[in-house]
Amino acid sequence: MDLKELYRDVILDHNKKPRNFGRLEAADGHAEGHNPLCGDRLSLSVRMNGERIEDIRFEGKGCAISTASASLMTEAVKGKDRQAVRELFDRVHALLTQAQESPDASLGKLAALSGVREFPARVKCASLCWHTLNAALAQQAAPVSTE
Amino acid sequence: MAANPSLAASALPLDAEAVRQDFPILSSMVNGHPLVYLDSAASSQRPRAVLEAIEDYETHSHANVHRGVHALSQAATQAFEGARERVRRFINARSMREIIFVRGTTEGINLVAQAYARPRFGPGDEILISALEHHANIVPWQMVCEAVGCTLKVAPINRRGELEVDEFMRLLGPRTRLVALAHVSNALGTVLPVKRLIDAAHGSGAVVLVDGAQAVPHSSVDVRALGADFYTFSGHKLYGPTGIGVLYGREELLAAMPPWQGGGDMILTVSFEKSTYNELPWKFEAGTPNIAGAVGLAAAMDYIESLGIEAIAAHEQRLLELATAELARLPDIELIGTAAHKAAVLSFTMKGVHPHDLGTILDAEGVAVRTGHHCAMPVMTFFGVPATARASFGCYNSERDVASLVAALRKAREVFG
């Protein structure tokens, strides 16, 4: 078990200085995510331009994996349309849970999360933001939960 | 049964390295490191004596209890009822009729909530708990309140994690029907002055349930000296198996309570018109019980007495003092829960490192601690943290384990910069 594989520099950097942190004043979608096992809480707001995510912010308290994952996600999905976000989620999910022969080049910086796969207890930390984004895009009223 | 190698070394002080040899699992390697097990408050490990007692029972004595006239059924009944007598002596109850076997502390509390509180309480009645309680000593009372309209009151704690005794006394009133308190807080290690609180509760006419899950492994408990009306604890935090626990109740209270589960073993006669219930304690033990669990629990109590509970307590207090001093020297560690009187539990946070990340890094070093809210979300809310890391000590831990914890914490600081 190599800690450096999990806590890569990109992860530690995004944990310390999360990008797109805060709250959007004029949001079209908003959702809360909660992982009751570890107490992680995430609040996500999105502003749409048609089918496209024009802007996105998140705030909350969480572990390094959940904070970095949310930060990386906001960078990756800004400017993408719903369909592209769905496809990206599928690829991230595969990255977090399935052994892969070679890294998915299309993931860019998100590939830094590949170390999570070796730590099954931490997969939910990395995927919380994505489930919350789905909820925000679907305009779900109820908070999503990892449980 | 094989001779216990640590018995020779049972005189004070406890020889933790010898005790460690009694626990087969503690020689495991975890992530390339020798296991440093600091999660006994969640579940302790089992000594060989417990494992052998269970195997011996399953190999030579198992059948259903209280039913057959055949040899094995009698052997099983003897083992099970022998375990009950062992428990009675361990907590100094007056009678075996006061010892109910349950699955664990949670079931013990739920039994009292459903069979004592629910049929008796109504609007205007109050149940008083403390702000330190485990969810298992909160939710069952909320369920009763919801069902019958009584009210739950919560006595606050201070910043050290100690019960505000004055506030507790103020909340105790003529409407208080039941007081439910942890003997020792699982999240912080605080030891509550239960004897004093029980006396006060009795003075105002309330009955008292004590959640002893975290107390029984660390100190000698005499239910009669305490004066507790109900006292409940789990086997698996006491070096025994999971799925077995004990509810002690004063006989006159138990006798007046209706059964809470119906089935075999808890009845004397059954007809379609009416059934008559069995005597204590079997009235509260519907269905085939966890016989091997009871046998294992009795063996765990024998084991604890072979080491001496006072020797264990003194040893753990030394480790607590050492670990508290060592952690105080680490600049980024904040201890959560600094009560004057504590069991060997250290809850803490590290600046800039989420407890969950801390848990993963410690695990990579072979150090097992609990991270999270410890089933005590209100305690976390009070201290304004989402979670803590918690190191808890048992009879098999040593100064070496404290050193490993400190080294792993330094490693975490290194990783996170």
- CATH code of the domain containing B96: 3.40.640.10
Q: Is the pLDDT of residue B287 over 60?
A: yes
* Chain A contact set for B373 (CB, 8 A): 39
Domain stops at, among B286, B305, B324: B305
Domain stops at, among B305, B332, B355: B305
Does residue B375 have an active-site annotation?
Answer: yes
Express each pLDDT in B128-153 by its tens digit: 999 999 999 999 999 999 999 999 99
Q: Are residues B131 and B154 in the same domain?
A: yes
Q: Does residue A12 belong to the interface with chain B, where contact is any CB pair within 8 Å?
A: yes
Q: Are residues B301 and B316 in the same domain?
A: no
The tokens of B12 are what? Answer: 């004070």
Report the pLDDT value the prediction gives residue B7, as an integer from 0 to 100: 41
Q: Are residues B260 and B371 in the same domain?
A: no
**C-alpha torsion sign, points B401, B407, B409, B415:** negative
Chain B, window 341-400: residues with a beta carbon less than 8 angstroms from a chain A beta carbon: 352-357, 360-361, 364, 371-373, 380, 386-387
Q: Which amino acid is located at B373 in the chain?
A: H
Across the interface, do A37 and B353 touch by the CB < 8 Å criterion? no
The tokens of B333 are what? Answer: 């560690």
Residue B1 lies in a domain: no
Protein fold of A3-145:
Sufe protein. Chain: A (3.90.1010)
Number of domains in chain B: 2
CB B394 within 8 A of CB B36: no
Q: Closest to A125 (Cβ–Cβ): which among B32, B356, B361?
A: B356
Question: Which helix H or strand E contains B49, and what residues bound it?
Answer: helix B48-60
User: What CATH number is given to the structural domain containing B340?
Assistant: 3.90.1150.10
The tokens of B100 are what? Answer: 């109910």
Across the interface, do A7 and B415 touch by the CB < 8 Å criterion? yes
Report the pLDDT value the prediction gives residue A138, as an integer from 0 to 100: 87
Q: Are residues B189 and B327 in the same domain?
A: no
Q: Are residues B410 and B378 in the same domain?
A: yes
Instruction: With CA atoms as reference, report the closest residue to B323 among B404, B210, B411.
Output: B404
CA of B10 to nearest chain A CA: how many angstroms apart? 39
Q: How many Cα atoms within 13 Å fall on the side-chain side of residue A71?
A: 23
The tokens of B265 are what? Answer: 């073993």
Q: Measuring CA to CA, how many Å separate B263 from each of A70, B76, B256, B277?
A: 52, 20, 19, 10
Residue B3 lies in a domain: no
Q: Are residues B92 and B232 in the same domain?
A: yes
Q: What is the mean pLDDT of residues A12-40?
A: 90
Domain stops at, among B305, B328, B350: B305
Rounded distance between C-alpha atoms, residue B347 and residue A29, angstroms = 38
Report the pLDDT value the prediction gives residue A104, as an integer from 0 to 100: 76
Rounded distance between C-alpha atoms, residue A141 and residue A35, angstroms = 17
Express each pLDDT in B219-267 by its tens digit: 999 999 999 999 999 999 999 999 999 999 999 999 999 999 999 889 8
Q: Are residues B229 and B367 in the same domain?
A: no
Q: Are residues B135 and B117 in the same domain?
A: yes
pTM: 0.93
Residue B37 lies in a domain: no
Instruction: Select which of B145, B150, B375, B395 is catalytic.
Output: B375
B24-35: string of b/e by CB count within 10 Å (b at 16+)? eebeeebeeeeb
Express each pLDDT in B76-121 by its tens digit: 999 999 999 999 999 999 999 999 999 999 999 999 999 999 999 9
Using DSSP, state whether B389 is helix, strand or coil: strand
> What value, to the nearest 5°, has the Cα angle with vertex B355 and ends B215 and B31?
90
Give me the residues paired with residue B353 across strands.
B350
Across the interface, do A64 and B31 touch by the CB < 8 Å criterion? no
Q: Which amino acid is located at B126 in the chain?
A: E
Q: What is the mean pLDDT of residues B321-330?
A: 97
Which domain, by its residues, includes B285?
Answer: 52-305
Q: Are residues B301 and B201 in the same domain?
A: yes
The tokens of B174 are what? Answer: 């003529």
Express each pLDDT in A34-55 by its tens digit: 987 777 889 999 999 999 999 9
CB B385 within 8 A of CB B333: no
Q: Are residues B390 and B348 in the same domain?
A: yes
pLDDT confidence band for B4 (50 / 70 / 90): very low
Report the pLDDT value the prediction gives residue A147, as an integer from 0 to 100: 60
Report the pLDDT value the prediction gives residue A144, as an integer from 0 to 100: 62
> What value, to the nearest 5°, has the Cα angle with vertex B139 and ends B37 and B288?
75
Instruction: With CA atoms as reference, report the closest residue to A27 among A139, A141, A132.
Output: A139
Instruction: With CA atoms as reference, report the closest residue to A44 among A23, A71, A65, A64.
Output: A23
Residue B82 lies in a domain: yes
Model ipTM value: 0.87
